[in-house]
């Protein structure tokens, strides 16, 4: 296949369902591929790692949005909201925002959440047991995989309990802005979700300024107000929305993809339950083998750059093929084999370099607590019909994953 044919095929229903044969085609073309039309495709692990760690390859910030968005897209409230977020900012704005967020979203704060995560897991498993009594099918995505990270991120942000189910729906709709959107109706939903979240977070920020609590929102306000030049009010609001959607989507897909792999490899579940396999190694191999984030994109900010032996002129797009890199035979022995006993897995699923996912510690903590309790509580966990993929290009996971727990 030609390079652009591979990229086009990845956007089809078949490609979204199973992109890995197409990644194999990309690997056959080389570690770095000049696809033409201003696009460089990067399927190799080392080259992806290089691009992600090199700040000269930037994200599509406000200065570059006109290159990839038409006039109608540039008017979309949901897309414009992300322009002021850390995920779509380059230096110097990126460093300024990230340092502030990282100063309060710390491993220590995540560690302090562990009792709340454990309690949330037990509550959700109790409900699964009740709903799935007598062999009734339940949807693991709806009833556990999405619920857990939404509960945790709402705890972190201090979102009141009655508002959380609404937040889950809004976060799901707004998450479209983190993916490739070829259905404009999804942007209509994202726009409506952003406008509602903007109003809600505006009220929450005002309330927390008057009555601070022990949550991330209050901590961000305190740091922001102490040095107002570091984060504007609009930036604070947009990054709260980003934390909400990024804080649940990847983790939910990690759980869904992981449980599906347990069904396909029952010996792995048996090894985990008997203590012969480590849950940490299992989670890392899930991240590698079926990454919740399949691809990201960078733009060459200056002339004179190259990836491998391929020159990349200023303004050229680099497709960082994370899903392909995580199955690169140059990096991994038998990359198509699911093997939780691998050592030094180091998947690129959370990125690398300046834009390394700030929530990766939280996602891994939820997995470290959630997977063991799920398997311990439900030794008879089994599939109950065909799962439904979410048909997303970048954020790979399941929309529905029917299971039985008894």
Q: What is the DSSP letter of 167?
A: H
pLDDT at 227: 67
The residue ranges of every structural domain in the chain are 3-385
pLDDT band, very low/low/confident/very high, at 66 (cuts 50, 70, 90): low
Question: pLDDT confidence of 393, banded at 50, 70, 90?
Answer: very high
Q: Is 319 helix (H, G, I), strand (E, B) or coil?
A: strand
pTM of the predicted model, to two decimals?
Answer: 0.95
- What DSSP designation does 116 have? H
The token pair that represents 18 in the structure block: 């199973």
Q: What is the pLDDT of residue 186?
A: 80
Q: 375, 405, 365, 367: which is closest to 269 by C-alpha?
A: 375
pLDDT of amino acid 284: 98
| Dist. CA 144–CA 260, nearest whole Å | 14
> Among candidates 359, 124, 81, which has minimal Cα distance to 243?
359
Q: What is the mean pLDDT of the chain?
A: 93
* pLDDT one-digit tens code per residue, 306-350: 999 999 999 999 999 999 999 999 999 999 999 999 999 999 999
> Rg of the Cα trace of the chain?
21
CATH topology of domain 3-385: Cytochrome p450 (1.10.630)
> Dihedral through CA 191, CA 194, CA 199, CA 203, nearest 10?
180
What is the rounded average pLDDT of the residues 235-256?
A: 91
Hunting for tokens 């990270």 — which residue is that? 149
């Amino acid at each position: 296949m030609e390079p652009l044919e591979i990229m086009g095929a990845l956007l089809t229903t078949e490609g979204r369902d199973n992109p890995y044969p197409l990644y194999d085609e990309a690997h056959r073309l080389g570690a770095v591929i000049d696809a033409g039309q201003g696009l460089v495709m990067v399927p190799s692990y080392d080259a992806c790692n290089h691009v992600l760690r090199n700040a000269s390859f930037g994200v599509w910030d406000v200065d570059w949005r006109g290159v990839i968005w038409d006039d109608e897209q540039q008017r979309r409230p949901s897309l414009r909201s992300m322009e002021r977020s850390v995920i779509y900012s380059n230096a110097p704005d990126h460093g300024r925002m990230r340092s502030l967020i990282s100063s309060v979203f710390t491993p220590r704060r995540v560690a302090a959440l562990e009792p709340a995560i454990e309690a949330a897991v037990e509550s959700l498993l109790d409900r699964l047991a009740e709903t799935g009594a007598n062999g009734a099918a339940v949807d693991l995505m709806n009833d556990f995989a999405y619920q857990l990270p939404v509960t945790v991120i709402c705890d972190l942000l201090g979102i009141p309990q009655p508002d959380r189910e609404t937040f889950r729906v809004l976060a799901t709709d707004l998450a479209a802005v983190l993916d490739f959107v070829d259905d404009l109706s999804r942007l209509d939903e994202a726009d409506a979700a952003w406008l509602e979240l903007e109003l809600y977070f505006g009220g929450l920020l005002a309330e927390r300024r008057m009555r601070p609590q022990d949550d991330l929102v209050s901590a961000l306000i305190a740091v922001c107000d102490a040095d107002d030049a570091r984060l504007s009010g609009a930036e604070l609001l947009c990054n709260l929305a980003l934390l909400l959607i990024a804080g649940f989507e990847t983790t939910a897909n990690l759980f869904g993809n992981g449980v599906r792999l347990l069904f396909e490899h029952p010996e792995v579940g048996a090894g985990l339950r008997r203590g012969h396999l480590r849950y940490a190694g299992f989670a890392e191999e899930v991240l590698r083998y079926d990454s919740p984030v399949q691809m990201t994109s960078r733009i060459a900010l200056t002339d004179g750059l190259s990836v491998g032996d391929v020159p990349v002129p200023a303004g050229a797009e680099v497709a960082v093929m994370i899903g392909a890199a995580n199955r690169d035979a140059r990096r991994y022995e038998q990359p198509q084999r699911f093997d939780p006993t691998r050592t030094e897995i180091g998947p690129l699923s959370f990125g690398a370099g300046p834009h390394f996912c700030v929530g990766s510690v939280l996602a891994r903590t939820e997995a470290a607590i959630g997977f063991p309790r799920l398997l311990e509580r439900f030794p008879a966990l089994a599939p109950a019909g065909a799962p439904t993929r979410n048909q997303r290009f970048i954020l790979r996971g399941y929309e529905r994953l029917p299971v039985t727990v008894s």
